[in-house]
C-alpha cells in the first residue's frame, strides 16, 4: 500500500482522479513548469516559516527527510524535546510533516502550529483548514494527545519600522474548532483515498470536465483527449455559469465553434463566441476615438516594475506590498 502524504490529500481534495494518477501513473500528468514568479512565492513561504520559528526559541529542527525524519522525530520526542520544527509522523499509511509542534505544559497536550505564507484574513482558507485537520487526525492516530491547532500567518496590519519583531510580523489564530469540525468528513475521506489507491485500473473521467480551464486537474488532457486545448472551457467566466457549461458538455459541444447561435450566454460570453466563430474582431472605434480625444498632449509615459515580498524589506512597507523599481 502506498503512503498517503498531506500533499496527496490536498490533491485528492482537488480531484480524486488526479490523486490516483499522481500516485500510480504520474508520467501522464500535464505538469506546468513553475514560473520564476511562482518560485519566488515558494521562497517567500519558506522565509515566513523561518520567521515563525523565531517565536519558539527553544525549538529544534528535524534535519532529515522522509523515513529518516520519522526516526529522528521519535528520537527527539524520546529525548524530551518540547518544541520541534518539521516534525514528521506516519500512521496507518498516512504521512505528514508538522511545521511546528509544541508541548503545552499547563494543559498537558501538544499544539500543532501550521505556518502559511498568507496574510491573516477573518475567514480562513479551506485549504489551510483541511491541511491542518489532516495533521491533527494523523497525530491522534499516532497516539499523541493534541489539544490545540494554531494557524500562523502574516499580520496584514504589520508595517516594517527598523528591526522586524516576529511577534508583530506574525499572527497566531486558534483554529481548533474549525479543524475538529472537519474531522468526521476527513475520516470518511481517508478510507476512500485508500480504496482509490487499491485500484490498479485507471479511474473514470473526473468532474473537471464541468469546470473552467484554470480549474482542470493535471490529468485532464489524458482523461479527455477529445477536448481541444482551446474549448468551451475557455469561454469568458464560464466557470461561474456552471449550468451553461454542463449543458454544452452534455451535448458533446466541446469547441467554441460548435456553440449554437441560440444558446443562452451573457453579453460578453456571446461576444467571445461570435468573435471565435466569425474570426471578425469587435472593435468599438467610436468609443476608442472618444476616449483618445479626452487625452491632452503631450503625453508622458513612465514604465516601472514592482516586486512584492512576504516579509517587507523597506520601512513603511507591509507584507506583499508591491514595491516599484526600475532597471
Partner DNA sequence: GGAAAGCCGAACTTCAGAGC
Partner DNA sequence: GCTCTGAAGTTCGGCTTTCC
Residues lying near DNA in the complex (CB under 7 A) are found at 37, 41, 44-45, 116-119, 121, 125, 156, 212-215, 236-241, 244, 266-269, 305-308, 319-320, 322
Contact by Cβ (8 Å): 156, 318: yes
Residue 189 or 236: the one with the smaller Cβ distance to DNA is 236
Residue 297 or 327: the one with the smaller Cβ distance to DNA is 327
Q: What is the b/e burial string over 13-51, where b = at least 16 CB atoms within 10 angstroms of the residue's CB?
A: bbbbbbbbbbbbeeeebeeeeeeeeeeebeebeeebbeb
CB of residue 319 to DNA, shortest distance in Å: 7
Contact by Cβ (8 Å): 21, 200: no
Residues 6+ apart with CB under 8 A from 265: 235, 241, 244, 259, 273
CB of residue 66 to DNA, shortest distance in Å: 24
Residue 267 or 287: the one with the smaller Cβ distance to DNA is 267
CB of residue 21 to DNA, shortest distance in Å: 23
Residue 123 or 201: the one with the smaller Cβ distance to DNA is 123
CB of residue 133 to DNA, shortest distance in Å: 17
Rounded to whole angstroms, the Cα distance separating 237 from 242 reads 10
* Secondary structure (3-state) at 104: strand
Rounded to whole angstroms, the Cα distance separating 19 from 2 reads 12
Residue 91 or 209: the one with the smaller Cβ distance to DNA is 209
CB of residue 258 to DNA, shortest distance in Å: 19
List the Cα angle 221/226/231 in 5-degree steps: 80
Amino acid at each position: 500500500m502506498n503512503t498517503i502524504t498531506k500533499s496527496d490529500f490536498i490533491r485528492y481534495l482537488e480531484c480524486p482522479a488526479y490523486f490516483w494518477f499522481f500516485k500510480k501513473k504520474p508520467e501522464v500528468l500535464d505538469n506546468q513548469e513553475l514560473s520564476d514568479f511562482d518560485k519566488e512565492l515558494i521562497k517567500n513561504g519558506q522565509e515566513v516559516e523561518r520567521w515563525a520559528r523565531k517565536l519558539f526559541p527553544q525549538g529544534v529542527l528535524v534535519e532529515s527527510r522522509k523515513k529518516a525524519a520519522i526516526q529522528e522525530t521519535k528520537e527527539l520526542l524520546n529525548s524530551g524535546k518540547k518544541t520541534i520544527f518539521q516534525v514528521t509522523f506516519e500512521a496507518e499509511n498516512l504521512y505528514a510533516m508538522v511545521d511546528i509542534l509544541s508541548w503545552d505544559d499547563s494543559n498537558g497536550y501538544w499544539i500543532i502550529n501550521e505556518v502559511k505564507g498568507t496574510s491573516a484574513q477573518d475567514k480562513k482558507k479551506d485549504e489551510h483548514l483541511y491541511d491542518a485537520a489532516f495533521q491533527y487526525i494523523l497525530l491522534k492516530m499516532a497516539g499523541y494527545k493534541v489539544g490545540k491547532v494554531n494557524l500562523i500567518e502574516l499580520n496584514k496590519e504589520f508595517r516594517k519600522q527598523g528591526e522586524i519583531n516576529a511577534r508583530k510580523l506574525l499572527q497566531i489564530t486558534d483554529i481548533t474548532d474549525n479543524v475538529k469540525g472537519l474531522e468526521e468528513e476527513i475520516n470518511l475521506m481517508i478510507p476512500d483515498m485508500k480504496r482509490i489507491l487499491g485500484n490498479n485500473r485507471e479511474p473514470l473521467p473526473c468532474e473537471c470536465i464541468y469546470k473552467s480551464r484554470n480549474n482542470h486537474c493535471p490529468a485532464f488532457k489524458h482523461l479527455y483527449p477529445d477536448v481541444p486545448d482551446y474549448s468551451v472551457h475557455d469561454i469568458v467566466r464560464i466557470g461561474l455559469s456552471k449550468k451553461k457549461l454542463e449543458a454544452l458538455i452534455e451535448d458533446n459541444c466541446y469547441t467554441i465553434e460548435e456553440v449554437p447561435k441560440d444558446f443562452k450566454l451573457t453579453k460578453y460570453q456571446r461576444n467571445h463566441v461570435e468573435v471565435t466563430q466569425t474570426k471578425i474582431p469587435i472593435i468599438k472605434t467610436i468609443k476608442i476615438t472618444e476616449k483618445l480625444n479626452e487625452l491632452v498632449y503631450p503625453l508622458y509615459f513612465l514604465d516601472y516594475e514592482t516586486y512584492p515580498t512576504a516579509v517587507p524589506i523597506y520601512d513603511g512597507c507591509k507584507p506583499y506590498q508591491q514595491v516599484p523599481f526600475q532597471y
